[in-house]
């Protein structure tokens, strides 16, 4: 019944006769609803002031902490043909165990005595180098002997030239003395002729003076001839000295030319020796590459190459191996906008695929089935998926990760940031703001004394 008329009839109705009307008018549901709404508002306000942990959600996968512990493939360094398998998928191998044996497929290495023949060539070339060295030593000795002989010959020639020079000087003095004697003899002959004309000297004395003049003249000619002969000997000595110098220089130059020829041949032989040594070591190392061994302890997961007699190329992947000793980590990928909020040592909660968990992102302490981790490393370059990779290691102070966890499993990760009120987090989410910047290490304020010291 609607009370829309200005005329009231409520006073004329006996409500005791109408029980339903009495119950409808006396109900308390409105007051209860109001009380419930007020209580809900108070509870909502209280909830808005509860602490809430800001998080960054990111997907990732389980990996290993160090590159050497991750799954790898064993490759063949040389080309060959598979001859025999020593393992099968699922086997455990230790470092150095034989995995597969291959044979040679290149005709250059078919000779079974290749190492011995190469070693014989190497020895022959080494002997050739030794011979050239001995020849060079002999030529050096020959050059030294020629230089010493040239020195002695030149000294002898110099002495002979000096003797001839002194002989010329001596003969020149004798010739000058004979000239003086000849001049004196002429003057004496003239005086004797004058005395003979005056009758003071006999003709016999005059003839004796004339004979004496002839003897002096003959002696003068002899002295002059001797002087010319001495000068000729001096010139011959000088020419001989030049000839010795030229002769021995030619001999030394020829010996040095032979020496340099031997040096060139020796260097060529040494280059050949080095090349043969390189080839010998290559052949020796190659012969040890026919047996492919395990690089570390691990499990054979998959045989990429199969069969017997199958040819493989250099660098071909043969089998994949999972190391048995490894330390698990999680590689999670965060958006570029969230990367500045992370730093090494930040806490991360991880939910692994296959392990049931109840997660409350804002209350990590009440979550069940999640595991603790710490940021170990952050990439400085973006990945192919447009996100940055963050490597998370297990927290040794918290619950250990599951033992049955395997590399490659997926994970859902939450990076824990600062603690805020729920109302602030809702306001941030509605406005699309990023989480607050958070630093795990507090900045230490410097004291006034430190500023004074600086």
Tens of pLDDT, residue by residue over 48-58, are 777 766 677 78
Confidence check: pLDDT of 279 > 80: yes
Residue with the larger pLDDT of the pair 203 and 133: 133
Tokens of 154: 């030149």
* Residue 262 · residue 139 · CB < 8 Å: yes
SS (H, E, C) 348-395: EEEEECCCCCECCCCCHHHCECCEEEEEEEECCCCCCCCCEEEEEEEC
Tokens of 7: 């005329």
CA distance 152 to 386: 89
For position 451, what pLDDT does the model report?
32
* Residue 316 · residue 76 · CB < 8 Å: yes
The string of pLDDT tens digits covering residues 208-233 is: 888 888 888 888 888 888 888 888 88
**Closest Cα partner for 70 from 334, 280, 294, 328?**
328
For position 358, what pLDDT does the model report?
60
Confidence check: pLDDT of 116 > 60: yes
Q: Specify the CATH number of the domain 114-287.
A: 1.20.1270.60
Among 113-122, 125-134, 304-313, 414-423, the minimum mean pLDDT is found in: 414-423
**Closest Cα partner for 372 from 418, 413, 404, 331?**
413
Q: Specify the CATH number of the domain 71-104+290-322.
A: 2.40.50.100
Kindly indicate the confidence band of residue 449, based on its pLDDT and cuts at 50, 70 and 90.
Answer: very low
Beta pairing, strands 98-103 & 80-85: antiparallel
DSSP state of 216: H
The string of pLDDT tens digits covering residues 15-30 is: 666 666 666 666 666 6
**Closest Cα partner for 136 from 298, 236, 261?**
261
The string of pLDDT tens digits covering residues 80-109 is: 999 999 999 989 999 999 999 999 888 888
Rounded to an integer, the average pLDDT of 334-338 is: 84
For position 433, what pLDDT does the model report?
62
Structural domain boundaries in the chain: 49-68+326-443, 71-104+290-322, 114-287
Confidence check: pLDDT of 349 > 90: no
Query: Which DSSP string corresponds to 154-212?
Result: HHHHHHHHHHHHHHHHHHHHHHHHHHHHHHHHHHHHHHHHHHHHTTSS-HHHHHHHHHH
The string of pLDDT tens digits covering residues 124-149 is: 989 999 998 999 999 999 989 988 88
Question: What average pLDDT does the chain have?
Answer: 81
For position 38, what pLDDT does the model report?
86
Identify the burial level of 420 via C-beta atoms within 10 angstroms of its C-beta, where 0-12 means exposed, 13-18 middle and 19 or more buried: middle
- At the second CATH level, the architecture of 49-68+326-443 is Beta Barrel (2.40)
Residues with Cβ within 8 Å of residue 204, at least 6 apart in sequence: none
Most distant pair of Cα atoms in the chain: their distance: 228
For position 98, what pLDDT does the model report?
92
Tokens of 263: 């040096």
What length is written for the chain? 454
Q: pTM for the complete prediction?
A: 0.55
The string of pLDDT tens digits covering residues 229-276 is: 888 888 888 888 888 888 888 888 999 899 899 999 999 999 999 999
**Closest Cα partner for 128 from 273, 257, 281?**
273
Domains 49-68+326-443 and 114-287 share a fold: no
Helix (H, G, I), strand (E, B) or coil at 22: helix
Kindly indicate the confidence band of residue 306, based on its pLDDT and cuts at 50, 70 and 90.
Answer: confident
For position 27, what pLDDT does the model report?
62
């Amino acid at each position: 019944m609607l009370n829309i008329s200005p005329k009231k009839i409520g006073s004329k109705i006996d409500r005791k006769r109408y029980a339903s009307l009495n119950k409808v008018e006396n109900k308390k549901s409105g007051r209860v609803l109001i009380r419930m709404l007020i209580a809900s508002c108070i509870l909502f306000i209280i909830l808005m002031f509860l602490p809430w942990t800001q998080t960054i959600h990111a997907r990732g996968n389980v990996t290993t902490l160090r590159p050497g512990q991750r799954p790898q493939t064993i490759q063949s360094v040389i080309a060959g043909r598979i001859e025999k398998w020593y393992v099968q998928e699922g086997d455990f191998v230790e470092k150095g165990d034989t995995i597969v044996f291959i044979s040679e497929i290149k005709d250059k290495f078919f000779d079974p005595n290749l190492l011995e023949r190469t070693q014989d060539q190497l020895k022959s070339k080494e002997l050739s180098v030794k011979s050239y060295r001995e020849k060079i030593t002999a030529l050096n000795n020959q050059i030294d002997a020629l230089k010493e002989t040239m020195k002695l010959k030149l000294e002898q020639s110099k002495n002979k030239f000096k003797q001839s020079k002194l002989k010329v000087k001596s003969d020149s003095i004798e010739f000058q003395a004979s000239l003086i004697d000849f001049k004196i003899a002429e003057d004496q002959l003239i005086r004797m002729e004058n005395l003979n004309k005056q009758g003071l000297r006999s003709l016999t004395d005059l003839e004796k003076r004339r004979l004496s003049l002839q003897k002096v003249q003959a002696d003068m000619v002899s002295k002059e001839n001797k002087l010319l002969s001495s000068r000729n000997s001096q010139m011959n000595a000088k020419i001989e000295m030049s000839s010795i110098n030229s002769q021995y220089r030619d001999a030394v130059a020829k010996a040095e030319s032979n020496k340099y020829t031997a040096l060139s041949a020796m260097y060529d032989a040494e280059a050949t020796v080095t090349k043969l040594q390189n080839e010998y070591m290559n052949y020796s190392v190659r012969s040890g590459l026919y047996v492919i061994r395990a690089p570390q302890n691990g499990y054979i997961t998959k045989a990429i190459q199969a069969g017997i007699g199958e040819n493989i190329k250099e660098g071909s992947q043969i089998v994949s191996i999972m190391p048995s000793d490894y330390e698990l980590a999680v590689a999670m990928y965060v958006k570029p906008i969230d990367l500045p909020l992370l730093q090494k040592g930040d806490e991360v909660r991880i939910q692994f695929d296959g392990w049931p968990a109840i997660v409350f992102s804002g209350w990590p302490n009440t979550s069940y089935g999640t595991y603790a981790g710490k940021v170990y490393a952050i990439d400085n370059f973006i990945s192919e998926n447009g996100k940055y990779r963050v490597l998370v290691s297990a927290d040794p102070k918290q619950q250990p990760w599951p033992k049955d966890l395997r590399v490659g499993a997926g994970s859902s990760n939450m990076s824990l940031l600062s603690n805020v009120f729920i109302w602030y987090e809702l306001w941030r989410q509605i406005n699309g703001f990023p989480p607050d910047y958070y630093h795990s290490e507090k900045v230490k304020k410097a004291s006034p004394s430190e500023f004074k010291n600086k």
